[in-house]
């Protein structure tokens, strides 16, 4: 068996991403029990909200969060279930068994693996493999077969949400939780603190990954992008936030506002952060919606104003 928590090749992530991109749907195994029969597990650390969950996540450039909790809209439920299924790899969960269905999930992507945070409330979770102790937490480690190759997977039931993933990432997560490592809450917490409310789905891109997405005429203008989806009464609502590395911010225009029932913009100029909230009756349109912005980018020593969507399509003025 390979040494515990040894560093894996970048080919691991390539394989995992290939599986994700083809959209392989899975059902995480659980044994159904009656409402009065659910067996509980003991945990040493408990994190409740999405923003709290970021304290469990080692530094990453990309993560996805999905919550089925309190979702009564069938259209949104179907979308959430699809996102969850398309981003869970069944082989990684071979060593664990849940006794209740997954209610929330966060997956973080790394060059050498993946990390999952799984909300099954406080219900029992069993894990197989070799048990080791990491900073006072019991972690189970086991080699699993993914398309003919063996990889080291780890899990700990002693945290809520439960933690499952490739061994190096689980170790780093435990270190972040126990105070011996940094985490995404420390890195982007100043930004997420300005984003109001909870979400059924959230996508965060940071650093180089965000810079590759936030470009205008080939120039990166931001290093943090957040998109969150939720219900606002009977309306589908999307929240977008960007940390700008070039002078700019979101704007409210007639062309933008007529596409939505409500459109709200807040620019935190001292922090170079902009937040926009858009809602409407059509989920597909809301998923594709992006706020308008104005950028000032220096070209050959001359400032040029760009009006663009946050996807980077721009016009000069």
CA distance 248 to 314: 13
CA distance 170 to 102: 19
Q: Which two tokens stand for residue 110?
A: 């790394």
Partners of 225 in the beta sheet? 205, 242
CA-based nearest residue to 122, from 49, 41, 47, 44: 41
CA distance 227 to 195: 10
Q: Which two tokens stand for residue 140?
A: 């189970």
pLDDT for res 39: 87
pLDDT for res 152: 94
CA 272-177-117 angle, 5° bins: 80
Q: 3-class DSSP state for residue 33? A: coil
In terms of phi and psi (left: phi > 0; alpha: psi -120 to 50; beta: otherwise), the region of 286 is alpha
pLDDT for res 246: 92
CA distance 279 to 209: 26
CA-based nearest residue to 92, from 171, 146, 130, 56: 146
Task: Indicate the length of the chain as a whole number.
Answer: 317
Radius of gyration (C-alpha) of the chain in whole angstroms: 21
pLDDT for res 307: 52
pLDDT for res 33: 44
- Which pLDDT tens digit goes with each residue over 145-175? 888 888 899 999 999 999 999 999 999 999 9
Could you say which residues of the chain have pLDDT below 50?
1-34, 300-306, 313-317
């Amino acid at each position: 068996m390979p040494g515990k928590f040894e560093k894996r090749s970048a080919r691991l992530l390539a394989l995992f991403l290939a599986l994700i991109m083809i959209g392989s749907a899975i059902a995480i195994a659980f044994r159904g029990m009656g409402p009065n029969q659910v067996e509980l597990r003991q945990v040493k650390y408990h994190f409740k909200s999405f923003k709290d969950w970021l304290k469990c996540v080692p530094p990453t450039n990309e993560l996805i969060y999905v919550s089925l909790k309190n979702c009564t809209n069938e259209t949104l439920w179907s979308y959430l279930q699809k996102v969850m299924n398309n981003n869970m790899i069944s082989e990684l969960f071979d060593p664990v068994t849940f006794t209740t269905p997954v209610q929330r999930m966060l997956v973080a992507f790394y060059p050498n693996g993946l990390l999952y945070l799984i909300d099954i409330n406080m219900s029992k979770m069993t894990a197989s493999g070799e048990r080791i102790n990491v900073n006072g937490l019991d972690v189970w480690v086991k080699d699993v077969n993914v398309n003919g190759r063996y990889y080291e997977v780890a899990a700990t039931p002693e945290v809520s949400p439960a933690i499952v993933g490739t061994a190096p990432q689980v170790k780093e997560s435990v270190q972040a939780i126990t105070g011996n490592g940094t985490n995404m809450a420390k890195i982007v917490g100043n930004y997420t603190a300005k984003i109001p409310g909870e979400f059924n789905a959230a996508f965060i891109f940071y650093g180089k990954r965000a810079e590759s997405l936030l470009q205008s005429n080939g120039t990166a203008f931001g290093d943090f992008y957040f998109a969150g989806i939720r219900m606002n009464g009977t309306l589908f609502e999307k929240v977008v936030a960007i940390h700008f590395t070039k002078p700019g911010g979101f704007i409210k225009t007639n062309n933008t506002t007529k596409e939505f029932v409500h459109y709200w913009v807040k620019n935190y100029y001292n922090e170079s952060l902009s937040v926009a909230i858009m809602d409407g009756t059509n989920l597909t349109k809301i998923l594709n919606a992006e706020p308008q912005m104005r950028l000032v980018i220096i070209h050959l020593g001359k400032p040029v104003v760009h009006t663009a969507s946050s996807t980077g399509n721009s016009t000069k003025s």
